[in-house]
A and B are shown apart, each in its own frame.
Chain A
């Protein structure tokens, strides 16, 4: 069965970087992409971007351009999302989800990773 298992919770100081991992299993990793979605405490869902696990092509949300990098390691079927220059409003649960394309639906999600940014 398709599974996406994310790395554990992180606490970071403002200005630092965080890298969240998402290990996929149960399907051919390079046949799909991975989207990242975040949710601030008590707030709604925000799409951050998408990466193709086939060729590494990315689409990032404009508001995060320059601070976010999404990568994949096909040898371990793992996707990564790195966010730099962290601010307090980056405190959120970060989810990965399997997608076919950037313009598609996400039927499979990771369990979420809480990133707390606090001095």
Chain B
């Protein structure tokens, strides 16, 4: 199975800050990477697919980049409603595997 790692595991930032999360795959996954946002008690929400494509309706402050094994997710200006856990997920190989998540809160 492809192992996904994320860093940091948690972070605190101020409203308006730029937030960056990294995700690394244990092998080349091309650009077959999703980013999901999950709020407590809710289902995950797809934000980014194919590493850098913004899902319809998702605010443009969210972005993704990378290919191969190294990926980055960015919130350009953190908003209070962005408090959540963020997961990367690869879909190049089965089983699809998720990163362990990054919990984002407000400082």
Contact = CB atoms under 8 A, between A and B. Distances in A.
B44 A45 contact: yes
A7 interface: no
A59 B91 contact: no
Given A44-B87, A44-B100, A45-B89, A106 B94 contact: no
Q: Report whether over half of chain B's contact residues are helix, strand or loop; otherwise say mixed.
A: loop
A110 B43 contact: yes
Contacts, number: 57
A49 B101 CA distance: 20
Chain A interface mostly: loop
Given A44-B100, A44-B101, A46-B98, A104 B91 contact: yes
B49 interface: yes
A107 interface: yes
B39 interface: no
13 contacts: A37-B44, A44-B99, A44-B101, A46-B98, A47-B98, A61-B94, A62-B1, A62-B95, A102-B94, A103-B32, A107-B46, A107-B56, A109-B44
Interface of B: 1, 32, 34, 36, 38, 43-46, 49-50, 55-56, 87, 89, 91-92, 94-101
